[in-house]
Amino acid sequence: MDRSAFIHEPIPVWTGPDGEFPTRIDWINAMLAASPSQQDAVESSPLEASHGSNHRARSAEFFAVLHGSFAGIARITKGGSHIGSGCAVRAADLGFSRLDEDVVLTACHVLFDPKKSRGSRLSKRAELIRVSFDERYPRQSCACEVIWASPVDVLDVCVLRLIPPPIYIPRHFEIPALPIAHDDPEEFVPNDSGGGRRRQRSFLLSHPFGGPASATIEDNHFHGSAVRSGTTFPTFLRYKCPTAPGSSGGAVLNEHLQLVGIHRAGAATLHDGVTVDKTVAGVNEGVSIQSIREAIAESPAAKTEAPRKSFLARLMSTFEPLRTR
């Protein structure tokens, strides 16, 4: 990666000079030290305060702190091809009170053609979709099916239920769910060093271009929100960070590493009709996790028994891994 472009790229967590995470941190430190500053007047967050005034060093350390969150970031494939990203959360945290398991959140347009997934035309047939949570173990993937969806022209979000892998898959297949924030992120937060306020930093965790799990650790801030009429919470979050095709459905975290939104659109593809500050280049859009919870709470799915897993999905969960042996 060219050093001058380093801060404008999502940073992979696994791949590095030697492919190991500790070496990756050293590499990030070296690249940041050689890159010009793009975060003037950005103060440290509580997790970064111990690293003094050098925001580049704090970014590398924050990347290390983020390391634990990457295990819950999903790569989503359909027919063997990468189609987007997702993240694991507890179903109960979303409002599915009778579903005691982890589920995966992603953007609806990742799974369905936007032109064919508006309003009542949305289909929930998605048995050919598979998710994996760590590219170092390619066989450890799950079939899944859609249990709740909000079309592209509403929230653009899907909830996927995982189908347990067959018994011969190693039992260390685990999915650590991301913690969900109880409030939408504040655009401005107090400076840690004293008076004044600064923009809160945003972190997008995803699989850009279908590549390794990556995070935005520089040039990343929240830039407000947009509210649809008839909703209680801000529907869409605005944030500036590097992104790429394949990042849709990725997790948007606040500085406390809590899930606050699901990434759905880059700056060139915002499509909800809400005015965006055109003076801010590279502003992206995500669906607020609070608006997702609100929509689920108002749907029958939150109050019914756990849906039975379809026969086709269970069959795929059993035989699909044989193709990769």
Task: Note the pLDDT tens digit of each residue in 39-56.
Answer: 433 344 443 443 333 454
Mean pLDDT of the residues in the chain: 71
Say yes or no to pLDDT of 249 above 60. Answer: yes
- pLDDT at 139 > cutoff 70: no
Place of tokens 């689920």: 296
For 94-108, write each residue's pLDDT tens digit: 999 888 888 999 999
- Angle at Cα 280 formed by Cα 276 and Cα 281, nearest 5°? 105
Class of residue 298 by CB neighbours under 10 A (exposed 0-12, middle 13-18, buried 19+): exposed
- What confidence score (pLDDT) does residue 308 get? 56
Choice between 248 and 13, residue whose per-residue pLDDT is larger: 248
Q: Domains in the chain and their CATH numbers?
A: 72-178+296-324 (2.40.10)
**The pLDDT of residue 263 is above 70:** yes
Residue with more model confidence, 82 or 321: 82
The pLDDT tens digits for 161-218 are 887 655 545 544 567 789 999 888 887 777 766 677 777 888 889 998 888 888 887 7
**266-299 per-position pLDDT tens digit:** 754 454 444 444 445 568 889 999 999 999 998 8
